[in-house]
Amino acid sequence: MSNSLRTVANCGLFLAILDLIHALSTFGFYCYELIIHYRCHWNHGIRWCQYYLNDTNHSLRVNIGIGEGVVCIFFASVLIAAFCRYNPWVAWLWLIKALAVIGINAYFIGVWMVQRSRYYHSLWNPKNYNQDEIFLMAGIGLTAIELLIMFIFFCVSGAFTYKVKRQQVPTMESDI
């Protein structure tokens, strides 16, 4: 494989498309969970369900997750544009989104793990409502994928920045 700027930019575009798929899956998962939240299937009724969802932070996580999905779609689109326009400064702005997503997911995973270790949900019947496992596994999975994309992003963006600066490709910021 050659080390040309176009090859590095195409690799970055592939990475940005993977990030877009990650963003769409995040948005889709939390939208699905929002629908599930309003179709409570507990025997105790909707008031008991709403108490459970608010008490476990699932409702808060669903609301933040939908916003996270929208913001991630926007940043993935910006990353695609940055690699198409050969603009490394805009590409590096994607890192802010990645760190924010990892921080949000790490916070909620930490809270749910602490609650689990304290037997916080011992009164909930797992046969009736097993959302803790779903949210925990989704959070761990989404965080692991984001960390993998971020690691690859560092390699690709470093090479991309080096190639752009070395070849002096005109960007939208230049004074031509």
12-64 residue pLDDT tens: 999 999 999 999 999 999 999 888 776 766 545 555 666 666 667 778 888 89
Contact yes or no for 9/86 (Cβ under 8 A): yes
**27 within domain boundaries:** yes
Q: Is the pLDDT of residue 173 over 90?
A: no
**55 within domain boundaries:** yes
The dihedral of CA 140, 141, 144, 150: what is its sign? negative
Contact yes or no for 56/121 (Cβ under 8 A): yes
Q: What pLDDT, in 10s, does the model give residues 109-152?
A: 888 888 776 655 555 555 445 677 888 889 999 999 999 999 99
Contact yes or no for 37/62 (Cβ under 8 A): yes
3-class DSSP string for 50-62? HHHHHHCCHHHHH
What range defines the domain where residue 49 resides? 5-167
**75 within domain boundaries:** yes
Question: Of 56, 50, 23, 5, which is closest to residue 169 (Cα–Cα)?
Answer: 5
**69 within domain boundaries:** yes
In the chain, the number of structural domains is: 1
What is the DSSP code (8-state) at residue 43? T
Please report where in the chains the tokens 């803790």 appear, as a residue.
132
pLDDT band for position 172 (50/70/90)?
low
**173 within domain boundaries:** no
**Model confidence, pTM:** 0.79
**64 within domain boundaries:** yes
Residues 7, 162: Cα–Cα separation, whole Å: 13
**50 within domain boundaries:** yes
**172 within domain boundaries:** no
Q: Which residues of 141-159 are buried (b: 16+ CB within 10 A; e: fewer)?
A: ebbebbeebbebbeebbeb
Which of 171 and 31 is assigned the larger pLDDT?
31
* DSSP-based three-state secondary structure for 67: helix
